Amino acid sequence: MNEVLASTLRKAVYERLDYLDRLVNEADLPSRASLADTEIARLTAAWRSLLANHEPDERGRCRACGGWRRRRPHPCSVWTTAHKNLIVVDTRSTPTTGRHAAASCLPTAG
């Protein structure tokens, strides 16, 4: 992919995320419910596809991260980001940097 296409792709994805954020924050309840019907399925499919590309190989290393000589150990940053955003209950109310950041990444009970 050349630089122009990569930039266009990146811009389009960020614009879509901005659009969804605006809907979540500004739309009325029926509109948000409608959004959930379509966008949650799309987002879970996107996460599954992304995570499938980063599944560990037979040696416990990410199939996508790292160079051809040395793959990164699993879990890679994609999996830790998924865990942080999908499993941790409320990342907005917990620190994401600093000495308490690691505690916010712990799985929740239940």
Residue with smaller CB distance to Zn ion, 66 or 95? 66
- Where b means 16+ CB within 10 Å and e means fewer, 27-41 reads eeeeeeeeeeeeeee
Q: What is the CA radius of gyration of the chain?
A: 17
Residue with smaller CB distance to Zn ion, 41 or 87? 87
What are the residues whose beta carbons fall under 8 Å from the beta carbon of 29, sequence distance 6 or more? none
Is there binding between residue 71 and Zn ion (CB under 5 A)?
no
Q: Which of residues 65, 82, 88, 105 is near Zn ion by CB under 5 A?
A: 65
Is there binding between residue 64 and Zn ion (CB under 5 A)?
yes
Q: In the bound complex, what is the minimum distance in angstroms from residue 85's beta carbon to Zn ion?
A: 15
Count interface residues toward Zn ion (CB under 5 A). 6
Q: Give the distance from CA 60 to its chain's centroid.
A: 21
Q: Which residues bind Zn ion (CB under 5 A)?
A: 54, 62, 64-65, 76, 78
